[in-house]
Structure 1
């Protein structure tokens, strides 16, 4: 069942979203060569406890994982893109890290992700991250009241194709609100003017993720970490968005910038 949120409920989600966005910005800024993934995990645990929030990940046991998940972050390095388990790993120069988190505050959830590079960036990795960010902006822009769910999917898929990346159909975005995962599923490719009509009060986690060399994935023996099937680098960007009469509203904005400098430049060129 799809639940439309009232304006007051969207405001409550926005409180959670602000915390998620600010913490993700802090984690992204803390990502550097020599940092242990567990340092980021424990930083997030402290901030969540200080805020009185609850992690949506802790004890999460979906059908596709080998649960329960006992972390508050998904930290996916290089060829890992989704559901990466934080572990004792020290970031090396050029590592690409995707950070994904979701929490609830007072019963309302928000979910967001970003990808960053530790140390010296590979231009191909920068392009990959840029593609996910541009696709996210495009997907959000298509989340208009009166439109269709397929408009969001088509906008994301068009960006992927323009950058030369395939799209995996197994995992995508989702509804969000009282829980982290609600209906509907938001695919990262599709056809415009198809699917359910977008109505004010619908809240979605829109999350394009791409692999440099393939649209196929594999799962580690841990049952959680999803990697590109060919070992190529991956990237992931995500925001929680509310559809309103005035247009899409990003609830998980990050004070330190919505996109990387390269992405901002690309968007400026498009305008």
Structure 2
């Protein structure tokens, strides 16, 4: 499970290893967060040359794992567990080192708690959305949409669909039938030009509702007709999306307004998110 964690204002890419039950963090992102270097990779090279002991153990400390790159593609990057990151931190003279150690402990404990009690993950997600300025009604629809999406992807797994490219193809088919555009075109309409910007986090209430309708319909069609393989699932996706698309067209005919909207939530106060994260950390201490 790939994720982006916030340390103060810095984004730390991370991957959760289900088998080992621990996070792997991007080494470059950590170095950038602690040093404010304009070239973390170069800083990392110099750091390793200064610390011969760290350099000799580098192969055991770091693991190459795929992370989301700035260009939106999954690329292999150097990562390390909490233990490895703590060793790397020893070679970085930074006033942020101690707060970062506390942050590592918090991130790890939160994930373990969420595995034991999944409702905690939903609660934290809800609080973060609320802190960003989303309405409770929007949050409820976003949560429902996540549940619908999870049900659909679980069904795809059973029906011979592989994660990644095939998921993206089927999602695009549902979107084209629902809205008449692909997700990438939808992002352009909303002026979402950064790969890390999640389209669904910028959808209006109606866009979320029709997205969920298209995906829920696709799930039911796939189950009813017991489809299997890419060709049959594409047909199911197109049929499911058409149900939502017909409903969207009927609403637009009645209201005279397009459901697809250029509005987004890019200007919401992210500082409030950081305040909430800090407050949650203090409550757990």
Task: Tell me which of the two structures has the higher relative contact order, counting C-alpha pairs closer than 8 angstroms and 6 or more residues apart.
Answer: 1
**So what's the TM-score if we normalise by structure 2?**
0.24
From the two aligned structures, give the one with the greater strand fraction. Answer: 1
